[in-house]
Structure 1
Amino acid sequence: MILDLLFPNRCIHCNRIIDSELLVCDLCFSQIYFTHYSYFENNPIKEKCSLFFPVENTFALLQFEKESLSRQIIHELKYKGREKAGKIIADWTTERLDFKNEKPDLLVSVPLHPKKLKERGYNQLHLFTETLAAFYDVPFDHQLIKRNHYSKAQALKDKKHRLEAANTFSATQPISGKHILLIDDVFTTGNTVSSVAWEILNAGNNKVSVLVMAMDV
């Protein structure tokens, strides 16, 4: 309580004092670019994923536009130590995503390399994934896929290096006959999601859908 008085939570966009459980104030919330994609219908992320691997359904919550509040929100989560932002973004997702009667069997998030995890202190996708799993009553597995190589942040790479991800990931155990929802933060080239998806598809008779926090448009 005393810390809240001395260091009140502020809107990441306009700096107004806001509730400790929020990221942005009500006024700035209207400036967030939501995609309004349908999970079951064709959308830009499905079109791009389909170029790389067989994909069932896709959903992106935000548009990751340059200099946008959406981009700022993701950067707060990934680089500013705002791990709890993952739950807030998940809550926004559950308000907009309905699996109807076709829930996936398992939620799997893109892993960090152990060295990167130690540097950051948390995987920015874990709380997001766990919040979704609890809401939709679907299990999650943070250990199914491992990252084999340490690399610098995607945001710091040029396009050429983003495309170099051969053997970056591997499955840690056999899995077959499952519909897996693959979760990532930002969809850019599609290379990361594709690499993980193929590990899942090659592991057995599985199906893959994709959910990302934001799509770089």
Structure 2
Amino acid sequence: MFLDFLFPNRCLNCNSIIDAENLVCEACTDQIHFTHHIFGEENELEKRCRLLFPVENAYALMQFGEESLSRKIVHDLKYKSREKVGKILAEWTAKRLDFKNEKPDLLVSVPLHPKKLKERGYNQLHLFTETLSEHFEIPYDHTLIKRNFYKKAQALKDKAHRSATEKLFSISKPVQNQHVLLIDDVFTTGNTMSSVAWEILKEGNNKVSVLVMAVD
């Protein structure tokens, strides 16, 4: 309580003092560009994923604009040691996401390389995934996917380069007959998501859907 008095929580956008469990004030919440995607219906993210791999459904919470508030929020989560931002984003997602009859069997987040994980101290997707797991009563597995390389090429832009990223990830255990929901923070080119998806799809009779915090 004393520390809260000395160092009050402030809105990420306007710097006004807000409740300790919030990210932005009520006024600035209106400036977040939520996508209003409907899981199970065609949307921008689903169409982009389908160009790269067979996807069942796709959902993005926010739009990731150049100077957008969503970019500030994700940046705080990834680079400013504010792991709790993931929990808040998951709560926002849970209020807006309805799986209907397409509820996945398993939640899997894109992993960090162990060296990157040690540098950052946490995987920005874990608390997000665990919060959604509890809300929707879907199990999660943080160890199913392994990232094999510390760095990856940033210039991979299309399907012609997919072979260059095929070994970026690998499966650590058998997985079959599962509808897997792949979770990542931001969807940009889609190469990372595609690399993970193909590893799961080639394992057996699996299906893949996608959930991201934001789509660029």
- Which bin holds the TM-score, normalised by the shorter protein? over 0.9
Instruction: Show structure 1 runs of 5+ residues with no match.
Output: none
Aligned length: 212
Q: 1:161: Cα distance to partner?
A: 8.4
Deviations 1:68-117 (A, max 9, x none): 10111010101111100001000110111001232100000000000000
Provide the rounded CA distance (Å) in 1 between the counterparts of 2:177 and 2:184: 22
Which residue does 1:130 correspond to in 2? Answer: 130
TM-score of the pair, normalised by structure 2: 0.95
Which residue does 2:120 correspond to in 1? Answer: 120
Provide the rounded CA distance (Å) in 2 between the counterparts of 1:7 and 1:56: 45
Q: For the structure 1 residues 100 and 159, does the alpha-carbon distance in structure 2 shift closer, same or farther, using more than 3 Å as the test?
A: same
Which residue does 1:44 correspond to in 2? Answer: 44
Instruction: Show structure 2 runs of 5+ residues with no match.
Output: none
Deviations 1:27-84 (A, max 9, x none): 1110001001111111111111111111100000000000110111010101111100
- SS of the counterpart of 1:159? coil
Provide the rounded CA distance (Å) in 2 between the counterparts of 1:11 and 1:203: 44
Which residue does 2:88 correspond to in 1? Answer: 88
Q: After alignment, is 165-174 or 183-192 more displaced?
A: 165-174
- SS of the counterpart of 1:87? helix
Which residue does 1:203 correspond to in 2? Answer: 203
1:62-73 aligned within 5 A:
62-73=62-73
The two structures, once aligned, show a CA RMSD in angstroms of 1.5
Q: Say if 2:60 and 2:212, in contact at 8 Å, map to a contact too.
A: yes
Q: Say if 2:58 and 2:210, in contact at 8 Å, map to a contact too.
A: yes
TM-score of the pair, normalised by structure 1: 0.94
Provide the rounded CA distance (Å) in 1 between the counterparts of 2:154 and 2:101: 41
Deviations 1:143-162 (A, max 9, x none): 0001000027xxxx753489
Which residue does 2:150 correspond to in 1? Answer: 150
Q: Say if 2:40 and 2:102, in contact at 8 Å, map to a contact too.
A: no
- SS of the counterpart of 1:95? helix
1:1-217 aligned within 5 A:
1-151=1-151, 158-160=154-156, 165-216=165-216
Q: 1:188: Cα distance to partner?
A: 0.3
2:134 maps to a residue whose letter is: A
